[in-house]
Amino acid sequence: MKYTVAIVTISDKGSKGEREDKSGPALQNVLKDLYDVKKMLIVPDEIDVISDTLKFLADREKIDLIVTTGGTGVAKRDVTPEATKMVIEKDLPGFAEVMRMESFKITPYGIISRGICGIRGESIIVNLPGSPKAATECLSFIIDALPHAILKVKGDTSDCGV
């Protein structure tokens, strides 16, 4: 059984149809063989819209993995981490730490990302950067650990050495 995934692009211009979403499809291309891509959404950089979307996907749709792309930088409209903090029940700092550490090896700007990762119910939420290159790179740094984390979040109690 494949786990489910939802990809949420956070972009004011993308949500208005003023800019083509390239990050969402890039992530879909990486994830489609590993996960059942259930939803691809584009929402504006509005904290309430983002948090409501994350809650809906986790609580109502029961999506296993929710990845966001965009809104993790330091611009005034970048509020994805704040929206995510409003909805997660547990923090997963290791994922974000690894993404920033590995990104920094590629570009000094990697440490500017404020993306966070966490758990809501039985869903894992991962904030990724907005550019297709950075989003897919950051996903690649954590992709191998995600299925195990999802399994544990869903209640698996077998000993894994962690």
Give the residue extent of every domain in the chain: 3-153
With beta carbons less than 8 A apart as the criterion, state whether 97 and 68 touch: no
Structure token pair of residue 83 = 């929206």
Instruction: State how far the Cα of 28 lies from the Cα of 25, in Å rounded to an integer.
Output: 5
Q: What is the pLDDT of residues 80-119, one digit of tens each?
A: 999 999 999 999 999 999 999 999 999 999 999 999 999 9
Name the pLDDT band for 161 (thresholds 50, 70, 90). Answer: low
As a whole number of angstroms, the distance between CA 125 and CA 91 comes to 10
Q: 57 and 92 in contact (C-beta within 8 Å)?
A: no
Spell out the CATH class of 3-153: alpha beta
Instruction: Note the pLDDT of residue 158.
Output: 83
State how far the Cα of 80 lies from the Cα of 2, in Å rounded to an integer: 27
Q: Please state whether the predicted TM-score (pTM) of the whole model is above 0.85.
A: yes
Burial degree of 68 (CB within 10 A; 0-12, 13-18, 19+): buried
Give tens-digit pLDDT for 53-89: 999 999 999 999 999 999 999 999 999 999 999 999 9
- pLDDT per residue as tens digits for the range 12-44: 999 999 999 999 999 999 999 999 999 999 999
Q: In the predicted model, is pLDDT for residue 162 greater than 60? A: no
Given a contact cutoff of 8 angstroms between Cβ atoms, the answer to whether 137 and 125 are in contact is no
